[in-house]
Amino acid sequence: MADTQRPDKITMAPKPSSGNKRLLWILLICAVAAGAFWMFRDSARELTRPAPPPVDQGQMRLQLPTPPQATVNGTANATSQSAGAPDAGGTAPATAMTENAPSAQTGETATDGAQNVGRVMPKVQDDSVITLSFVSDLARYLANSYYPAGTEAAKKEDTGVLVTGTKALNMHYGVEMTGLTWSGDDIRRGRQNILRYVLTPTMTDALYTLYADRFMAALQEEARQIIRNVEGEERNLTRMEIKEMHHLLSTKVQATAGVLRACVLMEDAMARVEALHASTKKSLEANQHFQTALLRYQELSEADAKDAKAIAKAKTAMDSAGKTYQQAIMQRERTRESLANALRKYKWVSMQDDGTNVYIAQWVYRRVQDNPRVFPAIMSMHENLLDLAERMEKKAAL
């Protein structure tokens, strides 16, 4: 029987010595440690990095200005010479609204101001151009325009009335400038620069957000302090009368917002206002010609030595001038009525009289002449006034 072949002998690798074992273990531990270090290095950095400071709602990042001293103008209002007041171009830096701006006495340098860039500032409390004094005075002015039923001002009405209108309000602040600041002594230029400062969408919204709640609170407080002579009795307004005041103001504010919106949406609104201005100018010129012709006729008629031929000629000229003047007046009124009818087609406008609506449209026209790109700001005013009217109506419903 042939021998069975055995498989080749397997040669085993020599066993490592105890010294080699220790070396392998050391290398393995170092590799694991290095991997763990690189894996957790970024996480450790995130865990040890300080959290960014929270930014509360209503706070803003800005560079602190260093305003110079202010002077007082002829209307006893602070006339700001600082960066916060609108300059001759009607612009002011974004830092105009600050709560505690550093004064010139702090010794803060331009380098110190530069270091404040990006700081989280406290909530803004006041604007340096449209101040809180303006808001308080406006609330007082509007509240005092209300007279309840039974007073002398409302004797022809069954309800309370507002004795002031948009034109009176505009003229009041256009002359008194209460709570408004500007650079220089020219009140007309100051008024123009303040309007330029306010009439941007950003500033219009910012001012409304800043002051709306405080205006409503001031309006309520002013109403509580009013004393009226109602049917011979001096007394404060009742709760129902204060509610009525809010309702009447809400209607006015809503109607004004409607006119602003109409002026923006109506393609030929400004052209219609311009036509009204042109017809008004023609009527004034025609009146001057008529007055001149009338005076000439009267002088000739009353002269001692009368010239019948000259008198007749003067009378013909006077009659002709009078007819021209009459036609100019009729054209002016037709143009005004056409504008009023066009405005009344838009929402909320019919809630107040045509004279007020036309006056507001003329106000918008003057703003457009000063800044052809003012319409976005006008629409921001419209939206804010609607919100204000809603707030007033809620007060009336409480």
CB 389 within 8 A of CB 257: yes
Q: How high is the pLDDT of residue 74?
A: 37
How far from chain centre, in Å, is Cα 132?
Answer: 14
Q: Which residue bears the tokens 């002026």?
A: 263
Q: Which region among 2-6, 125-129, 158-162, 313-317 has the lowest average model confidence (pLDDT)? A: 2-6
Taking every pair of Cα atoms in the chain, the longest distance, rounded to a whole number of angstroms, is: 181
pLDDT one-digit tens code per residue, 280-303: 999 999 999 999 999 999 999 988
Instruction: Take residue 308 and report the two structure tokens written for it.
Output: 């019948």
Task: Name the β-bridge partners of 161.
Answer: 147
Q: Which region among 87-91, 115-119, 218-222, 393-397 has the lowest average model confidence (pLDDT)? A: 87-91
Contacts of residue 2, defined as CB under 8 A and 6 or more positions apart, other chains included, come to none
Between residues 109 and 169, which one has the greater pLDDT? Answer: 169
pLDDT one-digit tens code per residue, 325-361: 999 999 999 999 999 999 999 999 999 999 999 999 9
Contacts of residue 378, defined as CB under 8 A and 6 or more positions apart, other chains included, come to 199, 260, 263, 264, 364, 367
DSSP-assigned letter for residue 69:
-
Closest of 255, 226, 253 to residue 148, by C-alpha:
226
pLDDT one-digit tens code per residue, 43-98: 444 444 444 444 333 333 333 333 444 444 434 344 444 445 565 444 444 434 43
Q: How high is the pLDDT of residue 97?
A: 44
Query: Which pLDDT band, with edges at 50, 70 and 90, does 9 fall under?
Result: very low
Q: Decide: helix, strand or coil at residue 136.
A: helix
Helices (H) and strands (E) in the chain, counts: 11, 8
Residue 218 confidence (pLDDT) above 60: yes
CB 160 within 8 A of CB 240: no
Q: Decide: helix, strand or coil at residue 67.
A: coil
Over residues 104-125, mean pLDDT: 54
Instruction: Take residue 48 and report the two structure tokens written for it.
Output: 């040890």
Own/partner contacts of 290-296, CB < 8 Å, gap of 24 or more, are: 290/318, 290/321, 290/322, 290/324, 290/325, 292/321, 293/317, 293/318, 293/320, 293/321, 293/322, 294/318, 294/321, 294/322
Closest of 189, 160, 159, 185 to residue 174, by C-alpha:
189
DSSP-assigned letter for residue 76:
S
Task: Name the β-bridge partners of 78.
Answer: 72
Average pLDDT, the chain: 80
Query: Which pLDDT band, with edges at 50, 70 and 90, does 259 fall under?
Result: very high
Alpha helices in 144-268, H assignment, sequence order:
166-176, 187-198, 201-225, 239-265
